[in-house]
Chain A
């Protein structure tokens, strides 16, 4: 146990030294607790698996995918996929002296996302999809009106969870509601009229998400103008819950390598920081691995 702990600390040190990959050790998760091997040995940014058995990847081995799309800030159509299910047993978020349920915390962080994204550029549009116990429902069409989405979110009650959640309907909705298909993917030099992004927020630690129709998923995910960003909050990963498996599954929905993936435990600050990083425009933001938010002077 202690050997691998040393190993991990060594790796963290090495990673810290490489320019390209700066490890942020800011969260409480990295106290010298025994569970350090189970949690990602780096900041909550990197799209790594929460898996106690896999070995740490060397930072140098990772290849940053090459961007082929024009870096234009075309208007975004962001589909916020909000998970309204709450696990029977869930730890609360602590923010200062107060504690919040995961649902409330997520709603709060989404408010910041919506307001800030809209003030960066008011051409962006947002739609709302809700994940129920076992269904995916389109709730709000694309709109510039951030307040209406926030109000709808605030009014959305929680629900229970089931063992499995099938996500196929989500891709059907992307096809039918987002006009992704109308974009011309033949000539990638010409900036598209808009890009489509899913901001998938998942709050369950026990329910396994499933995608049955892989062709449908592939067809959408491989579209150059589509991005599948994920932010998942979870209980502390252990053998009782499915946090690791869920994380592995959600990371692999995207195949192009430009999507962002944030697994966040019950740390309010991490959640808000991840939401803020998701403000980045898919055509202009750095790859998650290459992102570094320090000031360079």
Chain B
């Protein structure tokens, strides 16, 4: 897979800006993945200058499939509007000049200065494309799917912008429905890998979509999450969705799936808040003796404690199942070894998941007040 930089170098400067805007705009399609460029390296390029390519294929993820539209610039005059080839599709096979004038104004009045010109043209074409597919849907063969579509529109208020429909050559119907997820409650999270192989792994914002495929009588549904969202929501365990019920249809299924994602977001928020409260309680009691604490996820804190002339480093760790699981409290010796490393002991203490964080912190500290001197004695014994 070549990096974005390598791709850009194949084109003259005038064209590069159009391609860059294509990559930067996250609102072209509903899909979490973004629009991409494909160049056929085997096509002959006049002259030996490899950076003078003038055509490329735009790969547009649509309704769970990929549309391949070829953009052909005039290599003698780059300022002219490009030509379009909707490969293997009957879409706009023989377009009327009027259609272009009214529905694709950015192409009719091509502005060489506007770097977002190409993106605008593609968006306008996509509107036409959606209408074209919607027309196909009205055929007798797809009454069921048409009904599902209408119900989604009438009962759930899902507009044409929020759903992509595609009927492919094998007569399977594909839907891609945007699930309007509210991610504002998600705690701050940094994606583990933002860039890989020269490409951005999370180009759009946080989003979720429902992919539905009808092949004959069989229906398959998949929920697709944007990469960062998937990482956060599926950190602990896979997100399970209820199975699709053919009889109740999409109009009942979409809200179910939506709720499942929102519930998981809330779960994660609650866990984060709890961990935050726990660490904050410790900082309130022992901020003056803190060594280090996890300031992003609030899952760990290390303190130095002194009790009756006995000293110990104490590390408290939380895990993903907290408060169901008990926090781990470890004492580390500062002056005695066991098996060549500093002596370590786990603290035993009473615990209930129902306690408030202040109460729990207090309990642990009270227990430590007894444990630290005893730990010193244990260390000396070894």
- Chain A residues within CB distance 8 Å of chain B: 24, 26, 71-73, 109, 112, 115-116, 119-121, 268-269, 272-273, 275-277, 279-281, 284-286, 290-297
A115: B residues at CB distance < 8 A: 341-342
CA distance A281 to B285 in the complex (A): 18
* A–B Cβ pairs within 8 angstroms, 15 of them: A73-B294, A112-B335, A115-B342, A116-B313, A116-B334, A116-B342, A272-B335, A279-B304, A286-B288, A286-B289, A290-B288, A295-B286, A295-B306, A295-B365, A297-B369
Q: Is B209 an interface residue (CB 8 A)?
A: no
Residue B342 contacts which of A112, A268, A294 (CB distance < 8 angstroms)?
A: A112
CA distance A275 to B332 in the complex (A): 13
B289: A residues at CB distance < 8 A: 286, 291-294
Q: Is B292 an interface residue (CB 8 A)?
A: yes
Contact: B305 with A295, CB < 8 Å? yes
User: Nearest chain-A residue to B362 (Cβ)?
Assistant: A297
CA distance A292 to B307 in the complex (A): 11
For the complex of A and B, the 10 pairs showing the least CB-CB separation, nearest first, are A293-B306, A276-B334, A272-B335, A281-B292, A293-B289, A292-B288, A280-B291, A72-B295, A120-B302, A296-B285
Q: Is B296 an interface residue (CB 8 A)?
A: yes
B342: A residues at CB distance < 8 A: 112, 115-116, 119
Contact: A286 with B315, CB < 8 Å? no
B107: A residues at CB distance < 8 A: none
Q: Is B368 an interface residue (CB 8 A)?
A: yes
Contact: A120 with B304, CB < 8 Å? no
Q: Is B67 an interface residue (CB 8 A)?
A: no
User: Nearest chain-A residue to B380 (Cβ)?
Assistant: A96
List 14 additional contacts besides A119-B315, A293-B304; criterion CB under 8 Å. A73-B295, A119-B332, A272-B311, A272-B334, A276-B334, A279-B304, A280-B291, A285-B290, A286-B287, A286-B288, A291-B289, A293-B306, A294-B289, A297-B365
Contact: A273 with B311, CB < 8 Å? yes
CA distance A121 to B179 in the complex (A): 39
Residue B334 contacts which of A26, A120, A275 (CB distance < 8 angstroms)?
A: A275
B86: A residues at CB distance < 8 A: none
Give the Cβ gap from B78 to chain A, nearest Cβ, in Å.
39
Contact: B368 with A280, CB < 8 Å? no
Give the Cβ gap from A275 to chain B, nearest Cβ, in Å.
7
User: Nearest chain-A residue to B312 (Cβ)?
Assistant: A276
Q: Known contacts being A276-B304, A284-B290, is A293 close to B311, with CB within 8 Å?
A: yes
